[in-house]
A and B are shown apart, each in its own frame.
Chain A
Amino acid sequence: MKIAIPVDNNLMESNVCTSFGRAPFFLVYDTETKEAAFVENTAASGTGGAGIRAAQIVADQGVGALLTPRCGQNAADVFRSADIKLYRTNTDSLKDNIEAFVKGELPLLEDFHAGFHGRNRGQ
């Protein structure tokens, strides 16, 4: 199965990114062939709706699951429509999370935040 994970850098040694919509890259990883590819998240620099656009990018990769520490409601709606399951990462390490997912140790992500819209925008 192909899975996606938001990452800080386009390296296998990278950490999982704490944000989904604003992550700079997504790792697209095939758990059977062990093929890995990094996809740039062009939504990260957008002014709004980054989660929706990022979810579109991930969905277009044909993945069956997303491993992420958190996810906004709008992106979660896109994933639900796309039949992509969400799992909650349990450490910062990219490799440890892939291993845990393969062993079936990652829990499903079921609580979504309403988004950070309007926060930290100043005046």
Chain B
Amino acid sequence: MPDFTAETAVSKMKIAVLSGKGGTGKTLVSVNLAAVAGHSTYIDCDVEEPNGHLFFKPDIAREELITVKIPQVDEKQCVGCRSCVRFCNYNALAYVNKKLIIFDDVCHSCGGCVLVCPKSALSERDKPIGKIKIGVSGDVNVYTGVMNTGEATGIPIINRLLEEGSAEEHRLTFIDCPPGSACIVMESIKDADYCVLVAEPTLFGAHNLNMVYELVKLFDKPTGVVLNKCLNEDNPVEQFCLDKSLEILGRIPFDHELASLNSNAEIVVNKKEKYRELFIGLLETIVGRVENGAASHKPNMVHGKVAADDQEGHRMELEQVCDEKVYGKVAADDQKGHNAEQEKKTCGENVFVEPGEFHRELEGACSERDHTSSEREGSAK
């Protein structure tokens, strides 16, 4: 188990935990990884329904209100030229009966209307959309973003969270992302060094995993998968990972005791040695990949032969910890199938684009609001 208090490359790493929908176990994975890592930072970017704090129960040291800029009109100055109405790409403004109407909820805070007003009749005011809470739980720093109900986007909250969470260097950081693959998730992973995708063992789970997999691929992030709620039966996600050469970092069993502890907002690694061992194994695997990924910085490189060999070692440990039936041999054999040569070839064909460039392109393309709400449907977190 590495010492994360030392100032190493790993201790600066940011690991994002994502999933295609709510309720797959992002918070279970990120909270318990942060807890076993110790001297770590946990950032809850799931601002619509943050619940990592329920597990950490942090002592809150500081709260900060997050606001966005909304236009306001000085009716005495307004001449009704409608420059602002025409300019607004989101149709947040209307002018009827010699009066400007401003729809705060539709406004994207671009500030354009203020700039185009020839009479300087528009100015900006702060509108609160939520807050961030910074606290401590043991040796874990806990950052939580909370968005006010009914607000359209939590992106300003996430930006501030990540800024604050990165202020203190040399802490291994775990980012608990919002569900889905919308703009709000892109914002959460943009600075991550590694992405852990959590998936349920169903066809639906494989479909949702594909959504986030495509997203992290666009960002050129090294990636691995954690299978949650594993049963002793066919798992369509295993096949998906095989098809996409995605490494399975670990498997969490469909375990009554674990579910029960987690439902009672307990950090499972602090309650049972077998869960502590499971998450230590998972953490070591991830850290190994982060180091590997940092050296090569290409997503496919992490599936090299070395990785497959490591994997076997961990699987042995995991098998001792949990029910053998859950952790079948299939996956270990699958991993062996990848040889280093094949991997190199794949990487050679990749078109390397700076992640930052990609992000800017995506920001441009994504003119719509966040659409996480539809992805939450049917999810019980």
Contacts and interface: CB of A to CB of B under 8 A. Distances in A.
Interface of A: 43, 46-50, 52-53, 55-56, 59, 74, 77-78, 81-83, 117-123
B379 interface: no
A123 B182 contact: yes
Nearest to B107: A49
The 4 closest A-B pairs by CB, nearest first: A49-B91, A82-B96, A53-B91, A121-B371
11 contacts: A52-B93, A52-B103, A53-B91, A53-B94, A56-B94, A56-B95, A83-B97, A117-B152, A119-B374, A122-B374, A123-B181
Interface string B355-381: 000000000000111010111000000
B101 interface: yes
A52 B97 contact: no
A78 B101 contact: yes
Contacts of B152: 117
B79 interface: no
Contacts of A120: 374
B180 A123 contact: yes
Contacts of A74: 103, 106
Contacts of A49: 88, 90-92, 103, 106
* A contacts with B: majority SS: loop
Nearest to B150: A114
Nearest to B181: A123
A83 B96 CA distance: 9
Given A56-B91, A118-B374, 11 more contacts: A48-B90, A48-B369, A49-B91, A52-B91, A56-B95, A59-B96, A78-B101, A117-B369, A118-B369, A122-B371, A123-B182
A81 B106 contact: no
Contacts of B127: none
A48 B101 contact: no
Interface in B181-201: 181-182
A55 B180 contact: no
A46 B91 contact: yes
Interface of B: 85, 88-97, 99, 101, 103, 106, 152, 180-182, 211, 367-369, 371, 373-375
Contacts of A52: 91-94, 103, 106
Given A49-B91, A49-B92, A56-B94, A121 B374 contact: yes
Contacts of A50: 91
B96 A78 contact: yes
A111 B152 CA distance: 23
Contact of A55 (B89, B94, B369): B94
Nearest to A57: B94
B94 A78 contact: yes
A122 B369 CA distance: 12
A81 B85 CA distance: 16
A59 B95 CA distance: 9
Nearest to B96: A82
Most buried by B among A47, A83, A118: A118
A120 B368 CA distance: 13
A77 B374 contact: no
Contacts of B103: 49, 52, 74, 77
Nearest to A43: B91
A103 B95 CA distance: 32
Contact of A82 (B90, B97, B368, B369): B97
Nearest to B93: A52
A43 B94 CA distance: 13
A123 B85 contact: no
A119 B88 CA distance: 22
Contacts of B373: 118
Nearest to B182: A123
Contacts of B90: 47-49
A51 to B, nearest CB: 8
Contacts of A77: 101, 103
Nearest to B215: A123
A37 B57 CA distance: 64
